[in-house]
Amino acid sequence: MGKSLIIVESPAKAATIKKYLLGEYEVEASAGHIKDLPERSLGVDVENEFGTKFEVVKGKRKIVDKLRKAAATADCVYLAPDPDREGEAIAWHIAEEIRGVAPEIRRVLFHEITKDAVRKALEFPRDLDEKMYDSQLARRILDRLVGYQISPLLWRKVQGGLSAGRVQSVAVRLVVDREREIEAFQPREYWVLTADVDRTAPRASHPFNVSLRRIDGKKADVNNGDLARSLLATLKGAEWKVAKVERKERKRPSNPPFITSSLQQEASRLLRFSPSHTMAVAQRLYEGVDLGEEGRVGLITYMRTDSVRMSDEAVKGIRECIAERYGAAYVPAKAMIYKNKRSAQDAHEAIRPSSAWRSPADLKGFLDRDEFRLYGLVWARAMACQMSPALYDQTAVDVEAGSAEFRATGSVLRFDGYLAAWRDSKDLPKVEEKTDAAEGDDEFEGQGTLPADLVDGEPLRLRDLDGVQKFTEPPPRFNEATLVRELEEKGIGRPSTYATIVGTVQTKGYVKKVEGRLRPSELGRVVTDLLVRHFADIVDYDFTARMEESLDGVEEGRTGRLELLGTFWAAFDKTLKLAATEMRSVKSEALPAGIDCEKCGKPLLIRFGKNGAFLGCSGFPECRNTKEFDRDENGHVAPKDSESPGECPKCGSELQVRSGRFGKFVACTTYPKCDFTRPYTRVERCPVVGCEGHLAEKRSKKGKPFFGCDQYPKCKFLTSYEPVSEICPSCGAPTLFARSFRNARTLLCQREGCGFTRREAAAGKGERASDKAEAAGGAE
């Protein structure tokens, strides 16, 4: 008989495990899924108990044949894809392909890729988990039913190539709802009153700042200037004194160890990593990194988890490391135990280093910059979660001035506790003042050092009194990390899907990232509105969360797969048929923009082309005016105007378009007082497929004009032809280009592979309405 065979997902993991086992086992990799539902058909028979037609993934036949050949010569095959539902499905499909040739098939789970963990896992193999596979299969079928049934409907009603997804569409709705909440927000005026006060003679001078807290025993609500000015006048003549001094010791405990969502959020906040990049780097750390003489070693545990549990062995090792590295005072009397959320599956440990003794400093020469920084984050959090709390001496001083009460707080760090681990982890930003535990909590937010010996009733001298007008602000737009947090809090998706969801809603064009924040595209708004109206359950937050719980129930044996799918399909099929007849066709009707065409006075409409939404005149074809547009802070349509460059971000003055040696540029009107400049970008968009840039007018060193994409060097499009705001009727490119010769003018498309041209009589400079003849019609 031959050696036993281990099959894992990735070649990197295979190499690490093979080194650990010293040639005792053969190790092969499946390179992810080997089977999936067909690309061009539903692949699910809803009439016959939701039977599925899985196919070998395109390009994977050679891998499958290799695995079959290796399995045929092995005495036992250990299937070791990742330890989650997705991994169980991969193992199940591999088993289907090798069952005819493999003498024995077992399942093993590697929660961390270390020598001891791998050998221990091989000592306790199990059978394939049918309920776990059923849960993943149910999820896959649900996603296929939603995606493959709703998407064609959107193609007919809105625009070709669109997609809907059971979780994806809910994530888009979150972004759309947040944007509309921002647009509907009405700012409320309020005033912040602060005072600088000092001790009276013969006390030593020690001024400190206090803020208004209460008036007549009630929470202060100074909501207009008249009230603020009246209070200021009254307070200037009041008697100021210390009403109460409270001193106490405060403890600040560490946060729990990382789970997938919290790792993505902190990596975004501290390291500026996107969720997808975080998971890619974490995958490398989990699968193994070459540590020189030590060879390849998996540095962290499995990174797709919703559990804050750590093994007793890991906790013991961390506590011993803390004691040796920092001292006994940093080790709590009892190990810290953190509770999971009720919805947590708890299939895996929290994300932690495979060995606490490998500090970031020990690994710096073996990791690239991002690996080093992310490992440092994981190591510091795992160490911190088992360390003593930080201790602060906190003082709160209430100051009385007539009927008003002011407050000042201050805190001094007396014992750093778990913060020592953060400081010991190199290349991490200083986070001790901004840990999650303190966000939104002013308990540790001091206003400066307070006099140590203040006493109740002590008179104070008013040095300065000020009132500042402010306005309440709308909720912030999501960034990628806070969208992940929202998905987690609402029970939408699972750790293995968060990063994919956030990436997909952007690549599909439903959401765009602007200055690091997520905003819905016009397409995202329209599709969300249609889905909310006709598929309310599919995009309902609670329904989606309940479906996740039902999928958990399948894995736990509380719900049958066919029962879940049958209940879902019965309602969904009726909704689908109704929507097919009742859903409005945005493609044929377009949407009112709420503004009129400046050329003919007729209403402008929002239309959708291959490159997104644009404004087209309802008077088409007589009026062929088209424009790009944004939405203002209230959600109203705002046509883009290249001749109105806006306000200076540096000083707030007006900007103007100016000409220089190398072409036009935008500069502040107060120059030279303000030296702000930026390239002049026209309204016309770059024609390159997938590029979101606009065209900038430039001049060569010899003074010859040309136009280039403002995303250079990412996009290197250049042309000497004049851009024209007209959509190509052939390929949908957002811009055509004018070439004039003698008495003729030719419009041409410069998108690679298109070749569209249209010749017309020369009309001098200045665009005519007829120059956009194909734009509105071509977008249909």
Query: Is residue 709 within 8 Å of residue 699, measured between CB atoms?
Result: no
427 in helix, strand or coil?
coil
Give me the residues paired with residue 364 across strands. none
Query: Is residue 568 within 8 Å of residue 46, measured between CB atoms?
Result: no
Structure tokens at 1: 């008989």
> What CA–CA distance (Å, rounded) separates 191 from 382?
43
Specify the pairing of strand 517-520 against strand 511-514. antiparallel
Structure tokens at 301: 């545990």
- Helix (H) / strand (E) element for 471: namely strand 459-471
Report the chain's terminal Cα–Cα distance, integer Å.
Answer: 66
Q: Name which of 765, 758, 767, 708 is nearest 728 in CA terms.
A: 758
Structure tokens at 189: 């005026």
- Among left, alpha and beta (phi > 0; psi -120 to 50; other), residue 387 is beta
Give me the residues paired with residue 248 across strands. 394
128 in helix, strand or coil?
coil
> What CA–CA distance (Å, rounded) separates 197 from 236?
12
Residue 31 CB neighbours (<10 A)? 15
In this structure, the dihedral spanned by the alpha carbons of residues 295, 296, 300 and 301, taken in order and rounded to 10 degrees, is -120
Please list, in sequence order, all residues whose beta carbon lies within 8 angstroms of the beta carbon of residue 635, skipping any fewer than 6 positions away: 179, 180, 183, 184
Query: Is residue 733 within 8 Å of residue 780, measured between CB atoms?
Result: no
Query: Is residue 53 within 8 Å of residue 38, measured between CB atoms?
Result: yes
Q: Catalytic: which of 20, 78, 133, 302?
A: 302
Task: Cis check for the bond before 207: say yes or no (omega within 30 of 0).
Answer: no
Give me the residues paired with residue 623 across strands. none
644 in helix, strand or coil?
coil
Is 721 labeled as catalytic in the residue annotation? Answer: no
Give me the residues paired with residue 745 across strands. 740, 760
> What CA–CA distance (Å, rounded) separates 778 from 773?
9
Task: Cis check for the bond before 713: say yes or no (omega within 30 of 0).
Answer: yes
Residue with structure tokens 């089977």?
35
> What CA–CA distance (Å, rounded) separates 755 from 533?
41
Q: For 637-659, give one letter per residue: b (16+ CB within 10 A) or e.
A: bebeebeebeebeeeeeebeeee
369 in helix, strand or coil?
helix
Question: Which are the catalytic amino acids?
Answer: 302
